[in-house]
Chains A and B, each alone.
Chain A
Amino acid sequence: MLKVKGISVRYDIIPVLEDVSFSVQEGQFVAIVGSNGAGKSTILRTISGLVHPFQGSIDFLDEPIQAAKPYEIVAKGISHVPEGRRIFDKMTIRENLLIGAHTKDNQAEVRNTLQEMFELFPILKERQNKKGETLSGGERQQLAIARGLMAKPKLLMLDEPSLGLSPILSKKVIQACEEIRRSGTTILMVEQKVTEILKLVDQGYVLQRGKIIREGKGSELLASDTIRKAYLGL
């Protein structure tokens, strides 16, 4: 579904990603883990067209997208839930969700998706007419994910959805991700919480200083000595 081949990205002259390659198959739950500053968010920003690689290629459903504009990429079926939630504070929850569906012209379909989101995240239904700024951290994250899902993406990219959340809320958000995956949406997630996430995913990649240093099934990575030493302190 998604094939990233040898991409390198720089911010001005500072290299952030170097020769990064990985792939995501349809229906998979894939995670890229790594410490702060490893370049995880940049990978997602590059796929969604917010930054462009100076080298390498990105294919989505066998079409090159490395030079495409963000709105073209969303229209192709990739939704990006950015780091730090980034919801629209001055808009109501309902308006936030509807912005997510702006590529859809069929209003009946939009209404149905909205109902699905309200079922997945009941708190959003309760508070649909409240402004985004009134939500707590966990609710904001639920809104950000729901907003990303409103476009009915084929691939949902989540940037550290558990960042800044309490362990209980973090667990809730990750449970929601599992549910989304069960409904058939492919997920690519970047995370710092290595243990929790690697238990769930089909495939994991470890990013260190802009390079993929290891890949494998989640359980394999968790069992690896390198990972245990570097990330789990074991």
Chain B
Amino acid sequence: MQSAKQFTSIFGGVLVLFLVAPLIIRDTQFQHLMIMLLLFTTLSQAWNLIGGFAGQVSLGHAMFFGIGAYAAMAPLNQWGLTPWIGMAIGGLVAMVAAVIVGYPVFRLKGHYFVISTFAVAEVVRELFSNWDWVDGPIGLDAPLVEQGWRNFMFYHTKLPYHYTLLIFFAVVMFVAFRMERSRMGYYFRAIKQRPEAAQAMGVNITLFKQYAFIISAFFTAICGSMYGLYVLHIEPSTVLSLDISIKIVLIAVLGGIGSLWGPLLGATILISLQEYSRIWLGGTGRGIDLIVLGALIVIICVYEPNGIVGLIKRFSRKKRKA
């Protein structure tokens, strides 16, 4: 586990980098890349709380992401309500959804748990696809409203999105750091390694899994809200899709499941690949990023299941020995 001093210095460096980079590099494509990087790092770190720390691999996080996106966009679209309230409602609804979903699915173990989270997310996607109030499969467009912080709409700059996401990224990183060192963090690690032994020690494993799921769902929903307000159009096939759930997991797997810096490292590779293959190759290059990513994941799984963070640790150990 990283010491507090090490974490603070790396975290400080990363924050400074993200604070300064969009001011120095004014290219909008680069700024878009940074926004997506922050968004998916935050999402993957939120997933890491349940999937990495507590070892409960959820393939249904798109459900929370979609809830957040719709909660911010629908009231803005229908009633002109400030998306900040929608975002808060989205976070709360996602937490309630996590409790309702978690109650039955945490009775399942291993593959059955994974499949059940995927199945529940698909049910939610179908529900939204058939819900007239949110225009079913067509989805919702952000209304043309006055730009500014009240409506969280900015038509000439990406910086407010960048810095707002940077705050969420910092909060999630801090929560993950604190959680890793807390009593709860110990319980998560115990549950991940040997659930029955943890139970025999008197750890209420269902309760702690629920805590992790609720916190994770909240941050995922907030990211969903941010995404909707940034791209200005949401529909079930984008914000509630299996693609989103899988991408969140792949980022963590690539970077290092259960590690603090894994999501940032994984997102840096995956999102850069995704964005630059799209920019350079356009429609013809669609899917190339996933082919490269697939190959990387295979290599990682074979040679270093702890992801890039594991590789870095291995190399630094070798260096120390040499």
Knowing A86-B194, A88-B194, A102-B183 are in contact, say whether A48-B189 is a contact too (CB < 8 A): no
Q: Which residues of B contact A82 (CB under 8 A)?
A: 196-197, 200
> Among B183, B190, B204, which residue has its beta carbon within 8 angstroms of that of A71?
B204
Q: CA of A103 to CA of B194 in the docked complex: distance in angstroms? A: 18
Does B101 touch A at the CB level, under 8 Å?
Answer: no
The DSSP consensus for interface residues of chain B is: helix
A61 to B140, CA, bound (A): 62
Interface status of B198 (Cβ within 8 A of chain A): yes
A85 to chain B, nearest CB (A): 9
Indicate with 1 or 0, residue by residue over B173-215, a CB within 8 angstroms of chain A CB atoms: 0000000000100110110011011111111100000000000
Question: Is there an interface contact between B187 and A99, defined as CB atoms closer than 8 Å?
Answer: yes
- Establish whether residues B202 and A102, one from each chain, have CB atoms under 8 Å apart when the complex forms: yes
Looking at A72-80, A189-197, A199-207, A218-226, the stretch in contact with chain B turns out to be A72-80
Interface residues on B, range: 10 to 19
Query: B193 to A88, Cβ gap below 8 A?
Result: yes
Report how far A147 CA is from B202 CA in the complex, Å. 12
The interface residues of chain A lying within 8 Å CB-to-CB of B197 are 82, 86-88
Question: Are B201 and A99 in touch, CB under 8 angstroms?
Answer: yes
A98: B residues at CB distance < 8 A: 186
In the bound complex, do residue A88 and residue B190 qualify as a contact, i.e. CB atoms below 8 Å apart?
A: yes
Specify which chain A residues have a CB less than 8 angstroms from the CB of B190 in the assembled complex: 88, 91, 99
Chain B residues closer than 8 Å to A173, beta-carbon distance: none
- B183, B196, B200, B203: most-surrounded residue (chain A CB, <10 A): B200
Question: Complex: how many Å from CA A103 to CA B197?
Answer: 15
Docked complex: A1-50 residues within 8 A CB-CB of B: 48, 50
Question: Which A residues are CB-close (under 8 A) to B186?
Answer: 91, 95, 98-99, 102
Write the nearest CB–CB distance from A45 to chain B, whole angstroms: 8
Is A171 an interface residue when CB atoms closer than 8 A count as contact? no
Nearest Cβ in chain B — how far from A17, in angstroms? 18
A73 neighbours in B (Cβ, 8 Å)? 202
Beta-carbon contact of B202 and A103 below 8 Å? yes
Residues on the B chain within 8 Å of A91, using CB: 186, 189-190, 193
B200 touches A80 (CB 8 A): yes
Q: Say how far A44's CB is from chain B's closest CB, in angstroms.
A: 9
CA distance A151 to B189 in the complex (A): 19
A69 to B187, CA, bound (A): 17
A151 — nearest CB in chain B belongs to which residue? B202
Residues of A within 8 A of B194 (CB): 86-88
In the bound complex, residues from chain B placing their C-beta under 8 Å from that of A70 are: 199-200, 202
A210 on the B face (CB < 8 A): no
Would you call A138 an interface residue if the criterion is a C-beta within 8 Å of the partner chain's C-beta atoms?
no
Within 8 A of B (CB), among A88-134: 88-91, 95, 98-100, 102-103
Residues in B lying within 8 Å of A, measured CB to CB: 183, 186-187, 189-190, 193-194, 196-204
Top 8 closest pairs, chain A to chain B, by CB:
A74-B202, A86-B197, A71-B204, A80-B200, A70-B199, A71-B202, A88-B193, A103-B202
A sample of 5 cross-chain residue pairs with beta-carbon separation below 8 angstroms, ordered by A number, consists of A91-B190, A102-B187, A103-B202, A147-B201, A148-B201
